[in-house]
Amino acid sequence: MEAGRDKAKVVVVGGTAVGKRSLVHRSAFDPVSDRFVTTLGAKVSKKEIVLPLRIRDGTFIDLILWTVNPRALTKRESALVRGTSAILAVCDSTRMQTLQELDALMQSVREAAAEGPAVIAVNKWDLGGERQIRSEDALGFAKAHAGECFFTSATTGENVEAVFQALGEEVVRHRREKAQNIEKG
């Protein structure tokens, strides 16, 4: 029996120049020029995930990645984030304030969209000598937001695929738990 195929909208948030588009570009099908992000407020890309790892049933999920300009989240009910299934929150390991900014950005998405899983990507981890964010800080932040944390580098590719794999798995797991809870009443 073949497993199903589904789609999920994932909002990619983070401060300016943290590497959101670089992470997406490294891994996803990205047919539209980056120059439209500032005009439209978001850029849409697609990442196909097969979930053989932890879920182990061969489910396919297409992550529709909306890389959102942080200024586009200033309106309380942003149309850009409606229908969001998950959040990929990205910060820059060389700038502590980018981790601090994530709290407000994630809260903005959660206020305008349904509750769903989150994955934190601490990008530019390859720049060890310049790091301001310690692994303990990032892991504590991820725990507070009930999300997994990955230390990534869009430059080297370190953990980039793992981030998207985890996103896909968390979306499928979250949807299945929600369906089971509805069945139980």
Question: Between 78 and 172, whose confidence is greater?
Answer: 172
**For the whole model, what pTM was predicted?**
0.86
pLDDT digit string (tens) for 100-142? 999 999 988 888 776 789 999 999 999 999 999 999 999 999 9
User: 69 near 41, Cβ under 8 Å?
Assistant: yes
* E-only strand ranges, 135-177: 147-151
Q: List CB contacts of 114: < 8 A, sequence separation 6 or more.
A: 84, 85
46 — pLDDT class (breaks 50, 70, 90): confident
Q: With 70 as the cut, is the pLDDT of residue 177 above it?
A: yes
| For range 90-106, the mean pLDDT | 96
Q: What is the pLDDT of residue 2?
A: 46
Q: What is the pLDDT of residue 39?
A: 43
Q: List CB contacts of 80: < 8 A, sequence separation 6 or more.
A: 11, 41, 42, 66, 68, 72, 73
CA distances in angstroms from 70 to 25, 42, 95, 172, listed in the order given: 18, 9, 16, 27
| For range 147-172, the mean pLDDT | 94
pLDDT digit string (tens) for 4-32? 678 999 999 999 999 998 999 888 765 44
Average pLDDT, the chain: 84
